[in-house]
Structure 1
């Protein structure tokens, strides 16, 4: 009984520590942070859409049971919601993920998965910037974003999701919200006119990096006054909230689009992760950061898909199913 209480108390402390990291933010790094679970990887598979490596799946030995199934189910349902309009594509995620799946990688517009679960690269037909480079930032112990940096802007290249290992907190609601906000605050490469973006024209929201918050934020202008507000998730109360920000308001009212001096043609990508509508408001254990080459050294489900038409509908709310 005493041991049970001690174990429960330890897990509770882990949960509170991770929440503090999530709230305060993780640092930006030049190399991806390699979670300990990746030491079990034996296979890396790329799931193609035509010539594009859209999704990457990292497996441990067959029969391994290393992660919590609820965490795997979270990312599976998220992917179903992102691509809900294409039934043929969703069939690839229609059944539960295998228990030996320890990382899921999803590339964003004009990028594709590279040689490992944490590596992303520009599509072959997309012109790179002369000074472009990649950086990485964890959002939680389960989520790490990879950014392509150009002209002082961080463009989301991909999201790597690591299901929560057994013995660690799931934080399902927090991770669900973090995935949602990362997607919606995504700035697509190459840089375009914010006023003409899909988010602004369809949902009255857009993303930017806020130096006051020290992170990418989703701004929503859907209220009557049209003033942008941070749309955030309170990881303590587990509810969404809106708040005013002086920096973001000044940026909004002084913003003026100017064509870049050097033309970087936008190559349309047949796969676009849908910018979801705003719902109603309601490092402690990792290995040291290593270079991408090391992650690649420890390296398809399906070689091609039918044409995918991505839904522009609001994401179905799965929070009601998440008890954490």
Structure 2
């Protein structure tokens, strides 16, 4: 069992493929109902099964706490969702400017953005967490939302030990559709953290600007060791010092044949396959790990 847990953490650390179609875990076959909740800012949706005894209490605790902390206004809304039902099989959450349509993977732009063209891609962050991205026709990729899946109560492997950290990290570091001053975002106000593309490492990162000595750091979470480290970054430090909010970015940089808003958020390579072939290997390893020793 220790090997199975380690295996899934290593897979999350190495990264899954980004695809044009969402991965559909087997637990979605238990779906009997689907409900979406929205207000002017956010949207969540819950995919339900019959009964509660078949699903992990740990999964429910993780997502209910995450929902309660991140979607406070939606939770308190009269027409909102007070708490995540314990018989959930999937729970979907959007960023601003997106809502959830007919099913747990259906992330769409709100009506005020009618006419904006682009396409969706999907990437699993862990075995039970999947992110959805809106890829604008001009080449910029935005986080549309995240879906979290429950696991069966009889499951022996602890798949979700790193899930909350991975979800928080994705929401903080991602590029959001509405260009808002980073200083006004919740995670910066509460924790002095924000997301940006760092040229030094070639990817989007979570930046921490709250150290007493003023050092600007990357916040790196390792799903293998389950440890978070702060690593100083001169590139992000320079950006923090010179950062000025602009409602419209004037700089247009062409990179790899794609004109982007800041020259760095070009679209990643995406595979056409509907399901990651790695799933078959995962299932085989799980079965082997669960089999009694001879």
Which of 86, 89, 92 does residue 81 from structure 2 map onto?
Answer: 92
* CA distances 1:266-305 after superposition (whole Å, capped 9, x unpaired): xxxxxxxxxxxxxxxxx64379xxxxxxxxxxxxxxxxxx
Is the CA contact 2:169–2:206 (under 8 Å) kept in the aligned structure 1? yes
Which of 120, 125, 128 does residue 134 from structure 1 map onto?
Answer: 120
Q: Identify the residue that residue 46 of structure 1 maps to in structure 2.
A: 36
Q: Secondary structure at the match of 1:18?
A: helix
Whole-Å separation in 2 of the counterparts to 1:86 and 1:233: 28
Deviation of the 1:243 alpha carbon: 1.2
Q: Which runs of 5+ in 1 are unaligned?
A: 1-10, 262-282, 288-324
Is the CA contact 1:228–1:244 (under 8 Å) kept in the aligned structure 2? yes
Larger strand proportion, structure 1 or 2?
Answer: 2
Whole-Å separation in 2 of the counterparts to 1:257 and 1:53: 24
Q: Identify the residue that residue 285 of structure 1 maps to in structure 2.
A: 279
Deviation of the 1:63 alpha carbon: 3.1
Q: Identify the residue that residue 3 of structure 1 maps to in structure 2.
A: none
Alignment of 1:21-60 (within 5 A): 21-49=11-39, 54-60=43-49
Q: Which runs of 5+ in 2 are unaligned?
A: 251-275, 282-294
Deviation of the 1:69 alpha carbon: 1.6
Q: Identify the residue that residue 77 of structure 1 maps to in structure 2.
A: 65
Summarize the Cα distance change of 1:193–1:76 in structure 2 as closer, same or farther, 3 Å threshold: closer
Deviation of the 1:180 alpha carbon: 1.8
Q: Identify the residue that residue 229 of structure 2 maps to in structure 1.
A: 241
Summarize the Cα distance change of 1:153–1:212 in structure 2 as closer, same or farther, 3 Å threshold: farther
Q: Identify the residue that residue 258 of structure 2 maps to in structure 1.
A: none
Is the CA contact 2:96–2:178 (under 8 Å) kept in the aligned structure 1? no
Whole-Å separation in 2 of the counterparts to 1:83 and 1:193: 20
Q: Secondary structure at the match of 2:111?
A: coil
Which of 133, 136, 149 does residue 162 from structure 1 map onto?
Answer: 149
Q: Identify the residue that residue 143 of structure 1 maps to in structure 2.
A: 129
Q: How many residues align?
A: 251
* CA distances 1:56-92 after superposition (whole Å, capped 9, x unpaired): 11123x2375431211121011111223467734983
Which of 161, 167, 170 does residue 179 from structure 1 map onto?
Answer: 167
Deviation of the 1:240 alpha carbon: 2.1
Summarize the Cα distance change of 1:128–1:247 in structure 2 as closer, same or farther, 3 Å threshold: farther
Is the CA contact 1:56–1:105 (under 8 Å) kept in the aligned structure 2? yes
Whole-Å separation in 2 of the counterparts to 1:194 and 1:98: 35
TM-score (norm 1): 0.65
Whole-Å separation in 2 of the counterparts to 1:102 and 1:223: 39
Deviation of the 1:191 alpha carbon: 3.0
Whole-Å separation in 2 of the counterparts to 1:224 and 1:152: 38
Is the CA contact 1:184–1:207 (under 8 Å) kept in the aligned structure 2? yes
Query: Looking at both structures, which has the greater relative contact order when contacts are Cα pairs under 8 Å and sequence separation is at least 6?
Result: 1
Q: Identify the residue that residue 117 of structure 1 maps to in structure 2.
A: 104
Whole-Å separation in 2 of the counterparts to 1:250 and 1:241: 20
Summarize the Cα distance change of 1:209–1:118 in structure 2 as closer, same or farther, 3 Å threshold: farther
Summarize the Cα distance change of 1:198–1:53 in structure 2 as closer, same or farther, 3 Å threshold: closer
* CA distances 1:25-71 after superposition (whole Å, capped 9, x unpaired): 22222221121222232322222437x881211123x2375431211
Summarize the Cα distance change of 1:23–1:213 in structure 2 as closer, same or farther, 3 Å threshold: farther
Q: RMSD in angstroms over aligned alpha carbons?
A: 3.3
